[in-house]
Structure 1
Amino acid sequence: MDKIKALTVFRRVIELGSFKAAAEDLLLSKAAISKNINQLEDYLQAPLIHRTTRKMHVTEKGKQYYHQVRNILDELNTADLSIIESSNQLRGLIKVSVPMSAGLLLINPAVCEFMKEHPEISVELLMSDQYLDLVEQGLDVAIRGGGPLKSSSLKSRKIHGLDLVLCASAEYVDIHGQPSEPESLYTHNCLMYSLALSPRQWVFRQDNEVRTIDLPPSSYVVNNGLALKQAARAGLGILLTPKLFVAKELQTGELVKLMPDWQAEKHALYAVYPFHKEQSKNVRTFIDFIIKYVTKNCENA
C-alpha cells in the first residue's frame, strides 16, 4: 500500500462526501478509490467509512482519523513547499477563486501582471460570486468580500477597502427625482445584489449619524455586480455598488451620484486562505502582489 496516496484518497473522500467526487478530483477510477480505502481499513483493522450503493457514513474512528490525517498531510505539504520554494524562482500552481465583477475589473488584471513577473507560476482562476469551500475545491486563496470566517482553519488578510456609491442613470433621475435622505429610498426602486450579507439592508453615515434602511422588495434582483450596473444604466432603478465599478459611467454622466452628503457603509476585499498555506512562499508572494496592485489602482481611480 502507498500510505501517502491512501491517506490522500481517504482525506478527499471525507471532504468531498463521495467516492465518485474523490475519484474525479484525484483523476483516479472509483475502483482505485475503493481499493485504497479498503487497504487502509485492513491496515488499521478498523472501519473508517460505512458505504452502500447510495450513500456513505463516516464512523467515529473515521472522523477522528481524518482530523489527524489532514494535519499530517498539511504539514507534509508545507515541508515540501519549504524546499521547492526555497529558490528565488517561484514555480508551481496557485488555485484562486474571485468574485465575478471584481475579478474581471480588478483581480484578473493583477493576476496577469503577477504571472508576467513570475513566468514559472501557473494560476487556475475560478470566477464565481458564490462563497466556495476552500478545502472542498482545493483552493489556495479566495478573494472575497468582508464577513466572518466560517472555519477556524482559515486565515485572512485585508486587500483594500472599497468606497460604495449610490447612483442611478440620468434618465431615472429625470423621471423619478433624486432621494434627499436615506428614508427617501423607500419610494424608489433599489436594485438588489442577492449575495450580499443583507441584500435589503443599506447603511449610510453622515458625520456621527448612522441610518440603517430596510428596503422593500425590488423589481430587479441579481447575483452579479456587473449585471446590476447594466440594469442601472438602463434606467431600472438605484444602485449601491463599489465606486470602482462605475467610475467611468460617473465621469461621463451616464450615471449620477445620489445623496452626496451621505456615505454608504464601506466594503472591503480580503484574501482568505487555509491556515497551513501561510507558510507557502507562492501564496504569500501572490497575496502581497494583489494587495500592492489593488491599492495602487484604487488610489489612482
Structure 2
Amino acid sequence: MRDGEINKKSNVSMVKDFVLLGFSDLPNLQGFLSGVFSIIYSIILFGNSLIIGLTRVGPALKKPMYFFLANFSCLEICYVSVTLPRIVVSIWMQDRTIFLRACATQLCFFLILGATECFLLAVMSYDRYVAICHPLHYILIMNPKKCIQLAAGSWFGGIPVQIGQTCQIFSLHFCSSNKVGHFFCDIPPMINLACGDTSMHELSVYVVAMLFAVVPFSLILASYSKIISTILKLPTAHGRGKAFSTCSSHLLVVVLFYGSASITYFRPKSSHSAGIDRLLSLFYTILTPMFNPMIYSLRNKDVIAALKKLIFKT
C-alpha cells in the first residue's frame, strides 16, 4: 500500500501519510476550484493587509478598537494560510498526499489559531462593552499596556492545550484506510479514521471546545447583554443607532464564525458526514476571513474615511 503500511497481525495501519480527498469528487471542476480558491486567498491577503495598513497610518484609527481589529486581520491571514495555499497546490498538482507530521503540524496551527480567534472575539466584545457602558473611563481602562496584554493572551493562551490535543489525536491508531474525507487535517475526519473506541478522545475534544469556544462565547453574550441594556437606555434614536453600528460588525462576525464551527465540533461522531463537515468548514476557514474586511470596512465610517484619504493621497 503506497500511503501506509498495515500491520497484518493487528489489522492496524501504521500510517506514514494521509490522502486528503477534499474536492476529488468534483473531477470536472478542479481547474475552476483552483482558480476560485486562488482568487479568494488573494482577496483575503489584500483585504486584511489593507486594514492592518490603515490602522497604522490613519490618525483616527489609533483607538484600542482598531488595535484589536489589526490583530484580528493579522490572525485571519495566518488562519487561512494554514489551509488554503495547500488546497490550491493539491488541486493544481493533483497530489493530495500529506505526510503524517505535516498533517499534525497543520492541525496544531489550525487549532491554536482557532483558539486565538475565539479569545480575540471575546476581547473585542469586552472592548465594545467598556466603550459603550463606561465611556468616560474607556481610555483609562483600555490603556496601551492592557491592550497589549489582552492581545498577547489571545495569541498565546491556547498554545499548550492545543499542542496537547494534537498529540492526543495523533496518538490514535488509524485503521487500514488513510483517506481523509476533507480538504485539510481537522479533528472530526481524523477521529473517523481511528480504530476502536474513541469516546474518551471525543470527550476531550468537547472539554477543550467548551474551554476555548463556549467560555469566550459566554463572555461575548454577557458583554452584549450589558451593551444592549445600556443602548436601550440612551435618550435619542440617533445615539442608539450610532452605538448599535459600532457593535453590529463584530456581532455578525461572531455569528458567522461560532455558528459554523460549533455545529462541526459539537455534533457526535455518528452524525458527521464528509460533505456536511466540508461545507461547514468552508465557512469558518475561508469565507469568514474573506468577508471580515468587507464587514468591518463597509460598516465603519472611520475605516472608510481613512481609505478615502489614502486613495486621494496616492
- TM-score bracket relative to the smaller structure: under 0.3
Max Rg structure: 1
Give me the TM-score of the superposition, normalised by structure 2. Answer: 0.20
Q: Higher relative CO (CA 8 A, sep ≥ 6), structure 1 or 2?
A: 2
More strand by share: 1
